[in-house]
Amino acid sequence: MPSTLNPKEATGNQSSWDTLLSDFPKGPLCKYRKKASFNWKEMAVFLDGKDTIQLKNRIFSALESDPVFARHPGEDLCREKYQELTFLRCKRLFEYDFLTQQEIIENPLKILNMLICIGMYDWSPCLQYFLHCGIFAGAILSASMRFSDFVKQVYSMEIFGCFALTELSHGTNVKGIRTTATFDHSTQEFIINTPDFEAAKFWVGNMGKHATHAVVYAQLYTPDGQCQGLHSFLVQIRDTKTLLPMPGVMVGDIGKKLGQNGLDNGFAMFHSVRIPKENILNIAGDVTAEGKYSSSIKQWRLLPYLAAAYALDYFSKSLFTNCVEFYAGLLTEQRSRRQAGMGREIHALSAASKPLSSWTAQQAAQECREACGGHGYLAMNRLGEIRNDNDPNCTYEGDNNVLLQQTSNYLMSWMNCVRDKAPFESPFGTANVLQDYHHILGWKFTAISVEDCMDSSVPLAAYKWLVCYLLRESDLKLSKEKQSGRSDFEAKNNCQVYYCRSLAIAFIEQTVLQRYHDYTHDPNIPSTLQPVLKNLSALYGLWSLSKHLAVLYQGGYASGEEAGRFIQDAILELCYRLKDDAVALVDVFAPPDFILNSPIGKASGELYKNMWAEILQGSKALNRPSWWAEFCINKPITGRLRSRL
Amino acid sequence: MPSTLNPKEATGNQSSWDTLLSDFPKGPLCKYRKKASFNWKEMAVFLDGKDTIQLKNRIFSALESDPVFARHPGEDLCREKYQELTFLRCKRLFEYDFLTQQEIIENPLKILNMLICIGMYDWSPCLQYFLHCGIFAGAILSASMRFSDFVKQVYSMEIFGCFALTELSHGTNVKGIRTTATFDHSTQEFIINTPDFEAAKFWVGNMGKHATHAVVYAQLYTPDGQCQGLHSFLVQIRDTKTLLPMPGVMVGDIGKKLGQNGLDNGFAMFHSVRIPKENILNIAGDVTAEGKYSSSIKQWRLLPYLAAAYALDYFSKSLFTNCVEFYAGLLTEQRSRRQAGMGREIHALSAASKPLSSWTAQQAAQECREACGGHGYLAMNRLGEIRNDNDPNCTYEGDNNVLLQQTSNYLMSWMNCVRDKAPFESPFGTANVLQDYHHILGWKFTAISVEDCMDSSVPLAAYKWLVCYLLRESDLKLSKEKQSGRSDFEAKNNCQVYYCRSLAIAFIEQTVLQRYHDYTHDPNIPSTLQPVLKNLSALYGLWSLSKHLAVLYQGGYASGEEAGRFIQDAILELCYRLKDDAVALVDVFAPPDFILNSPIGKASGELYKNMWAEILQGSKALNRPSWWAEFCINKPITGRLRSRL
């Protein structure tokens, strides 16, 4: 274990802590702070050490006192202004020069602490600074000492650097890099070339507006036409006096992202750009090799959400129809027991289906965004907008967890009937699973092969057991809490986690599955469509159920290694069977391209062409930044502001 | 089950489908589309029905042909312009009047379908329209027929409405609403009053810029001083001719949100605003009652993430120290076996700890955002920015899932030594858990009480078993795949889900826990700090482990109901014990207020005061929108554009 991290430094005493760390302003949190079992200042000194706390204090107070870093409440900066401000802040970091070489050598952890402090303020200037001084300079320095003069220019900001590995269509998959560097023996130069736009360097931080030089990864070709593998090269991409592109270089900004919009991520294409042979840096052994995308994971990631979309869409429409019946009753002033029961049942169903569907949508959007890699993070593809627009569904009309409590209350309200074995039914039939409560609790998982599990009747049976089991457990837990003298409110609260909350989730999943199972197994469904619909139903059921596997084992419904493995293998097998239907299943409900408005999601599937076209249409994608003189003329004086610290 | 959703309509034939739905443009997706087992058009017609597809076509093509709805690639609309555009689009929806009363009565599901179509274009104008015509008008209509003239003004947009229930400090908790309506017998009026800014109506959609009238929920007081409970009232808040606030009403926009920024969510305070007694709508029986916040859930939601922050912070610093040792070796050109082994081990650790920490951070940010309710969705509180800035960590330098594969490859590479029982160790010791592989596989969960589980040694032992078990299973699965004749690449891919991926995650969690366990159990830790640090270690370990509970049962490490329950109860007990330390634990690593820049998160804890101050500082929060004439003068003519459909 690293020695500097081991506890050994004495933590000092109250007065030494007070000189390092000041007290918090008085307020409503005071009373909670007093309850702590330990002194937070002692903990901070113990964890970080005096030295690091002083560094943090120095950085934080420098930023707070500097107008360039001022906060502007309610500001709605456009992206361009934000990029300009980020660059000014980055220059300022040169002038503060928070850590000397000596300090870094004595305690390298300080670099990490410094970056975290600046990042907590804003990650954009922090990354801009680190990409230039750390990654770019590091790549050059580690190549050869002959670049040391060049590195001096980095630290005086005579040049500005970026690290260009990723390409538009190949991400960071090293083998897929298609930029070429061909050695020309006659002139002793390398010729850097981008074969087509899909091989454009892409996502490169600092490249969008500022970088004058790039470390470019390319396949090296020798004059005999042999590829010698991936190497890196130092290429000038903009003029240092004007920030205009160098001849043969097309360079620009990739546009708005979901976050970190102060940082200028860019693209570049090289058209036979010649560089001296000295500018080769090294072979690519230092680049993380990356395997091919594992396709079985991709489908496993997204296909269950596709199945969920079908099942939940059907459920929402069926619930809407239930509501229509209920409101029709209201309008005709029905006072029947059925009318009152409908109200309660709809409330219980909607209180749990909102959490289920808003969380599922949130996870699906995030999963899609991650499955698209960096491109999912590009604002134009709208995966972020879709996620962010869905996000308030998780809290409005009541927090999801509070709503789930209302559904479990509804289910618990049937316990008297269940215990007394009195006959009952709910108007829409969703509570009727409890009619067989005592019988169902005796059920076991009985499938003896993967093939056995391929129909949604298997997860449906498991869900029925799960609902009854969790109802019994919640009821027992509540009695226990009440017996121990807790108030009604407190007792109910203590039953939420692992009991009532799980009960409400299991119940609504069971209900959604029951309705979708009935629908997909209806004999009137066209025989051309039924197989795929049944597969969707089975996949949705098994995938949802798999999140409850621990409870199935814990409560004795399942036992042995096989049960879980059957379920997992059935999920994979269903994903495999649905793979070829996936595009068509999306086609069925996809909105037109104009509505979707996402280059990566257009119906043609020409995602790179579409993205490329959209980027070039972006205003000012290729423009020199209006604040170019802030780089070309007003250079920062390194360390100028250190005396202020 | 609702009859309109049952399969009965004949789906027609290819030529009827082709007239309803056109083919997709040719492109790379063609070949995948051909693989489908069914005809997507038949499926669409079957699921939605001809009628609904025609409605969708009508709406989609109207929006696409209308310049008001044009898309502008690369546009970076400021929020104010976006709000203006949203209002113009909302007016346009009046002019299209997509559904007649008759159509709605014949098939109410069409309302849902229409809203979904518009929402897929953009949820902001859809919600603006629906809040006005649906929620606001509905609340008034359902109160009494005497408002029917008033409702006509809604549909001609003479007035514009909103639904004001939520208050700044009380969300949608009905009992907590503090706005009052006092009946004045002498004038036969109600006097609407906001006692203080924490009871300001808040988050109300349409209220920020446009609404002239609000349905306001308030506690009704009769002249005898008695509170008669929650009622709703129709209150005019802006002049319909000028859009300026009515006397006594302070109304404005709450500022930027994480999404849906076209919609103008607003706030309002009432200073003795008098309304005629006829403007009482009804009692609040139609408002969803909501229980108090379940505090046991809140802590359960956030405390494990706090523990994870401590454990992962320690791990990242220890890994950084490992890297320093490794790079020192590189600089001094060490060629030892240890040097090579360090490189491989660091790679395996970083390839799995990036996914673990970026996913944990993503989930923590989302959980915090949801735990803060609507206020977490307000941009000024910066939970969205923190989430969005972290988000690229999930994909850059390689997708998380691809990275995990590299860690499992590393672990699998030790299997030969393990099988041969050859001695081995890894430079930083993280693979040494495999030295006892055969022995560990025989371990069982032995705790016999909750108290037994309260130390991180319990989850640590379970993790060691888990790593060995998943390694064995992954190895078996790989052999099986290879024996069945699959290529190396294919075989490895098929082992990812449920095997290698889980192995890599379990391994890194075990390693993080091992290091944090050792650290927190070091005898040199000050006795004042050790108890809370041990609790954090135990909570992190148990909480992480609980996600693997199914495998523990499946593989026979745990059995019976008690094991799972002990773990769950121990998690809850640890959350309970850490509750009082929570604020101080955050204080230890919280950046200063200026750096955090989040009114909801300021150290004083005066969140409502801080938010309120920030909102009022926002530029134009209280201003009349510059496009006010678009409401006051240029009224939409309902149905004017229907003929274009």
Q: What is the ipTM of this complex?
A: 0.87
- Residue in B2, B64, B79 nearest the CB of A322: B2
Contacts B398 to A, Cβ<8 Å: 171-172, 288, 290
- Residue in A36, A291, A320 nearest the CB of B581: A36
Contacts B324 to A, Cβ<8 Å: 108
Span B165-189, average pLDDT: 86
Of the given ranges (A210-214, B109-113, B471-475, B511-515), which has the lowest mean pLDDT? B109-113
- Residue in B71, B549, B588 nearest the CB of A550: B549
- Shortest distance between the Cα of B412 and any Cα of chain A, in A, equals 16
Of the given ranges (A26-35, A281-290, A504-513, B31-40), which has the lowest mean pLDDT? A281-290
3-state secondary structure B107-146: CCHHHHHHHHHHHHHCHHHHHHHHHHHHHHHHHHHHHCHH
Q: How far from A476 is each of A505, A507, A535, B300, CA to CA, in Å? A: 18, 18, 37, 21
pLDDT given for residue A378 in this prediction? 86
pLDDT given for residue A289 in this prediction? 40
- Shortest distance between the Cα of A146 and any Cα of chain B, in A, equals 16
> In the predicted model, is pLDDT for residue A172 greater than 70?
no
Of the given ranges (A324-333, A573-582, B438-447), which has the lowest mean pLDDT? A324-333
Per the CB < 8 A criterion, the answer to whether B59 and B126 are in contact is no
Q: How far from A130 is each of A107, A122, A124, A143, A325, CA to CA, in Å? A: 18, 13, 10, 18, 62
> In the predicted model, is pLDDT for residue A296 greater than 60?
no
Residue B158, SS3? coil
pLDDT given for residue B73 in this prediction? 78
Contacts B26 to A, Cβ<8 Å: 604
Size of interface A-B (CB pairs under 8 A): 451
- pTM: predicted TM-score of the whole model, two decimal places: 0.88
Instruction: Write out pLDDT tens, residues A356-404.
Output: 999 999 999 888 888 888 888 888 888 888 888 888 777 766 678 888 9
Sign of CA dihedral B363, B365, B371, B376: negative
Q: Tell me if A290 and B398 make a contact (CB, 8 A cut-off).
A: yes
pLDDT given for residue B397 in this prediction? 64
Span B599-623, average pLDDT: 86
B554, closest residue in chain A (CA to CA) = A561
Q: Tell me if B33 and A74 make a contact (CB, 8 A cut-off).
A: no
- Shortest distance between the Cα of A149 and any Cα of chain B, in A, equals 20
Return the beta strands (E) in B544-599 as ranges: none
Span B10-15, average pLDDT: 83
Q: What is the DSSP letter of A24?
A: P
pLDDT given for residue A465 in this prediction? 98
Q: Tell me if A402 and B582 make a contact (CB, 8 A cut-off).
A: no
- Residue in A316, A370, A560 nearest the CB of B399: A370
Instruction: Write out pLDDT tens, residues A459-500.
Output: 999 999 999 999 999 999 999 989 988 888 888 888 888 899
- Residue in B38, B63, B604 nearest the CB of A532: B38
C-alpha of A619 from chain center: 28
Could you tell me which of B536, B528, B355 has the C-alpha nearest to residue B459?
A: B536
Sign of CA dihedral A187, A145, A114, A66: negative
Q: Tell me if A297 and B322 make a contact (CB, 8 A cut-off).
A: no
**Which pLDDT band, with edges at 50, 70 and 90, does A291 fall under?**
very low
- Shortest distance between the Cα of B455 and any Cα of chain A, in A, equals 18
Of the given ranges (A10-24, A287-301, A528-542, A545-559), which has the lowest mean pLDDT? A287-301
Contacts A40 to B, Cβ<8 Å: 584-585, 587-588
Contacts A390 to B, Cβ<8 Å: 259
Q: Tell me if B388 and A259 make a contact (CB, 8 A cut-off).
A: yes
H helices then E strands: how many in chain A?
A: 26, 10
How many Cα atoms are found within 13 Å in the side-chain-facing hemisphere of B471?
29
**Percent of all residues in chain A with a pLDDT value above 70, rounded to a whole number:** 95
Instruction: Write out pLDDT tens, residues B246-256.
Output: 999 999 999 98
Could you tell me which of B638, B639, B621 has the C-alpha nearest to residue B207?
A: B621
pLDDT given for residue B316 in this prediction? 92
pLDDT given for residue A287 in this prediction? 43
- What length does chain A have? 645
Q: Tell me if B259 and A385 make a contact (CB, 8 A cut-off).
A: yes
Instruction: Specify the DSSP element, H or E, that contains B554.
Output: helix B549-554
Per the CB < 8 A criterion, the answer to whether A414 and A434 are in contact is yes
> In the predicted model, is pLDDT for residue A11 greater than 80?
no
- Shortest distance between the Cα of A242 and any Cα of chain B, in A, equals 25
> In the predicted model, is pLDDT for residue A226 greater than 60?
yes
Contacts B78 to A, Cβ<8 Å: 76, 78
Give the integer Cα–Cα distance in Å for B135 and B129: 9
| DSSP-assigned letters across all residues of A26-39 | PSTTHHHHHT-SS-
pLDDT given for residue B375 in this prediction? 86
Q: Tell me if B395 and A384 make a contact (CB, 8 A cut-off).
A: no
Instruction: Specify the DSSP element, H or E, that contains A233.
Output: strand A227-236
Could you tell me which of B98, B95, B71 has the C-alpha nearest to residue B85?
A: B71
pLDDT given for residue A562 in this prediction? 94
Span A84-89, average pLDDT: 96
- Cβ-Cβ contacts under 8 Å for A100 (sequence gap 6 or more): none
Higher pLDDT, A79 or B1: A79
Contacts A131 to B, Cβ<8 Å: none
**Which pLDDT band, with edges at 50, 70 and 90, does B176 fall under?**
confident
- Cβ-Cβ contacts under 8 Å for B519 (sequence gap 6 or more): A1, A5, A6, A7, B314, B533, B537
Per the CB < 8 A criterion, the answer to whether A225 and A286 are in contact is no
Chain B interface test: which of A332, A378, A395, A500 (most B C-beta within 10 Å): A395
Please state, rounded to an integer, the average pLDDT across all residues of chain B.
90
Q: Tell me if B584 and A42 make a contact (CB, 8 A cut-off).
A: no
Q: Tell me if A366 and B362 make a contact (CB, 8 A cut-off).
A: yes
> In the predicted model, is pLDDT for residue A239 greater than 80?
yes
Instruction: Write out pLDDT tens, residues B337-393.
Output: 889 999 999 999 999 999 999 999 999 988 888 888 888 888 888 888 888 888 877
Residue with the two structure tokens 């809604």: B154
> In the predicted model, is pLDDT for residue A276 greater than 80?
yes
Span A246-272, average pLDDT: 93
A287, closest residue in chain B (CA to CA) = B397
Chain A interface test: which of B39, B327, B497 (most A C-beta within 10 Å): B497
- Residue in B36, B494, B550 nearest the CB of A550: B550
- Residue in B395, B400, B563 nearest the CB of A374: B395
pLDDT given for residue B147 in this prediction? 84
Q: Tell me if A401 and B40 make a contact (CB, 8 A cut-off).
A: no
**Which pLDDT band, with edges at 50, 70 and 90, does A7 fall under?**
low
Contacts A43 to B, Cβ<8 Å: 529, 532, 584-585, 588
| DSSP-assigned letters across all residues of A503-569 | HHHHHHHHHHHHHHHHHHT-TTS-TTTHHHHHHHHHHHHHHHHHTTHHHHHHTTSS-HHHHHHHHHH
**Percent of all residues in chain A with a pLDDT value above 90, rounded to a whole number:** 64
Chain B interface test: which of A588, A604, A620 (most B C-beta within 10 Å): A588
- What length does chain B have? 645
Give the integer Cα–Cα distance in Å for B439 and B216: 68
**Percent of all residues in chain B with a pLDDT value above 90, rounded to a whole number:** 65
Per the CB < 8 A criterion, the answer to whether B541 and B520 are in contact is no
B143, closest residue in chain A (CA to CA) = A331
B165, closest residue in chain A (CA to CA) = A397
Per the CB < 8 A criterion, the answer to whether A463 and A541 are in contact is yes
> In the predicted model, is pLDDT for residue A290 greater than 70?
no
- Cβ-Cβ contacts under 8 Å for B39 (sequence gap 6 or more): A528, A584, B14, B17
**Which pLDDT band, with edges at 50, 70 and 90, does A8 fall under?**
low
pLDDT given for residue B293 in this prediction? 39
Of the given ranges (A30-34, A114-118, A390-394, B516-520), which has the lowest mean pLDDT? A390-394
Q: Tell me if A73 and B617 make a contact (CB, 8 A cut-off).
A: yes
Chain B interface test: which of A3, A22, A37, A167 (most B C-beta within 10 Å): A37
Q: Tell me if A592 and B64 make a contact (CB, 8 A cut-off).
A: yes
**Which pLDDT band, with edges at 50, 70 and 90, does B291 fall under?**
very low
